[in-house]
Amino acid sequence: MGPERRRHRPQRMCVQCRNKGDKDGFFRIAGRPGEGWEPDPRGTRPGRGIYLCRDMGCVEEFTKKIGTKKGAARWKMGGSAEVLVQYLEACRAGSGRPDVRSVKPLGTGCTRGRRGAS
């Protein structure tokens, strides 16, 4: 038998501090620019992903950034920026760090710009 092969672990980078690491060590926000963004606790939602490391400093800075008009425009968040800011602030106030594995998805994304939405 040959040497044991280690299984590949996907790598991601925090959009705030630019640190790289295993995907499991990051907080994912999923969505599509212009359609809406939501927390993605399980990492299974379709769409683009924004990754933040679980360091509360990064989460706080990102929350401040998307809370401004310019910051929300950078990520093309539209009306979903407010919901996301509220979610991130609730995580910060609750446990001191967002434990995304135990939080259920919001399920109420921004509907602006979607076809068939009223």
Closest CA to 28 of 15, 19, 41: 41
CA distances from 105 to 2, 37, 44, 84, 113 (A): 43, 11, 11, 11, 21
What is the pLDDT, as a whole number, of residue 100? 44
Dihedral sign of CA atoms 75, 28, 47, 36 in order: negative
Q: What domains appear along the chain, each with residue ranges and CATH number? A: 11-102 (3.30.1230.10)
* pLDDT tens column, 64-85: 998 888 888 887 887 788 888 8
Q: How confident is the model at residue 111 (pLDDT cuts 50, 70, 90)?
A: very low
